[in-house]
Amino acid sequence: MVSARTKMILGRMAQAIPVLAGVVVISFVLTRALPGDPAAYFAGPAADAASIAEIREALGLDKSLIEQFVYYVGDLLQGNLGTAISTGQPVAADLATRLPASLELTLAALLLSCGVGVPLGVLAATRPGTWIDHLCRILVTTGVSMPTFFTGIVLIYVFYYLAGIAPSPIGRLDFIHLPPPRVTGFYLVDAAIAGNWETWFGALRQLVLPATTLALFTLAPIARMTRAAMLSALSSDFIRTARAAGLGPGKVLYGYAFRNALLPVITTLGMVFSFTLGANVLVEKVFAWPGIGSYAVEALVVSDYAAVQGFVLSMALLFVLLNLVFDIAYALIDPRIGLS
């Protein structure tokens, strides 16, 4: 007999099918609306009209949009995302190589922002009007008002150019280190598995500035929502009842108020994760980070249809999986929601 949790997961996956179908259609149409001709880029600046036409025929761009879409969907059903013009490699292989870099950067930034934003929001809610509350508001305002690319440039200028304590912003590893043997694609994990701690520290040093840049961007909504949710929970009737029953401050704060405040915080975290993947594009360009964000920008410049569509589809799959994870997390945190 199928459990309620399995039914919920299957139901969410079924609901994701129309979403992914819409993403496929929209990404196909929008990429064809991009300026530029991929065949002309592939042929080179010295190519004549006949050579460009021959390449267009080889790429299938001479067919109607309906025919191109049918061939594209047929390739998708076979797991073929096409070949990237800019790299000459299969798009799936390019994404598999670059996606761990983006995920490592995103997860590091989220861990850093949660490690600072959630405790800061709790402290600000329990001490309203104090310097901690004012510090929380200043950080929230600063994080919202500063663009990520500007923050990254400022951090590079201060810590690399002026102070000289940060490594050069040239990617995931300095030139003196070799990448660890690939297991997961996450340099910190792979270097730890290989026991190469010199490479591990080198990868960590390269990760600090871009992760901090993204963390400052994601810190603001997390701290703000934590503060608001905690203030709402602490003013609730069940908290006053718990205090009147003689429960300790720690039990009341973390056992009741914080647990009830987690749901809006997790909702915000899911939205922040999506925003962070979008903000990765700018941060990766500033720090020369070889992730899928910089890959998408390079593909857009040359109107690389297959690469852009593969990027959009991979982002859609990540968002669907992320929403499924948060749906399950809701039910685990608050049993009243249920899994039906």
Q: At a CB cut-off of 8 Å and minimum separation 6, what does 227 contact?
A: 121, 122, 124, 125, 133, 136
Chain-centroid distance of CA 155 in Å reads 21
Q: How many Å separate Cα 96 from the centre of its chain?
A: 15
Examine the pLDDT at 184 and tell me if it is beyond 80. yes
Backbone angles phi, psi at 10, to 5 degrees: -65, -40
Residue 163, number of CB atoms within 10 A of its CB: 9
pLDDT digits (tens, 9 = 90+) for 53-107: 777 777 777 777 888 888 888 888 888 888 887 787 888 888 888 989 999 999 9
More confident call, 202 vs 241: 202
**3-class state of residue 83 by DSSP:** strand
pLDDT at 218 over 80: yes
Domain with CATH 1.10.3720.10 in the chain: 95-301
Residues 107 and 90: their CA atoms lie apart, in Å, by 26
Q: Can you give the pTM of this predicted structure?
A: 0.82
Q: Is the pLDDT of residue 328 over 80?
A: no
Q: Which amino acid makes up residue 66? A: I
| Straight-line distance from the first to the last Cα atom of the chain, in angstroms, rounded to the nearest whole number | 15
Half-sphere exposure of 198 (CA within 13 A, CB side): 4
**Per-residue confidence (pLDDT) for residue 334, from 0 to 100:** 62
Instruction: Classify each residue of 285-322 as buried b or exposed e, where b means 16 or more C-beta atoms within 10 Å of its C-beta.
Output: bbbebebbbbbbeebbebbbbbbbbbbbbbbbebbbeb
pLDDT level of residue 139 (50, 70, 90 thresholds): confident
More confident of the two residues 196 and 19? 196
- Which tens digits make up the pLDDT trace of 26-53? 888 877 777 766 777 767 667 777 777 7
Where do we find the tokens 């660890």?
A: 180
Please state, rounded to an integer, the average pLDDT across all residues of the chain.
82
pLDDT for 337 equals 56
Distance CA 43, CA 53 (A): 10
Angle between helices 197-234 and 148-155 (to 10 degrees): 130
Q: Is-contact 43 52, C-beta < 8 A?
A: yes
Residue 295 has pLDDT above 60, yes or no: yes
Look at residue 9 in the predicted model and tell me its pLDDT: 67
The correct CATH number of 95-301 out of 3.40.50.300, 3.40.50.1110, 1.10.3720.10, 3.30.420.40 is 1.10.3720.10
The predicted-structure confidence for 144-180, as pLDDT tens digits, reads as follows 777 888 888 999 999 998 988 888 888 888 888 888 9
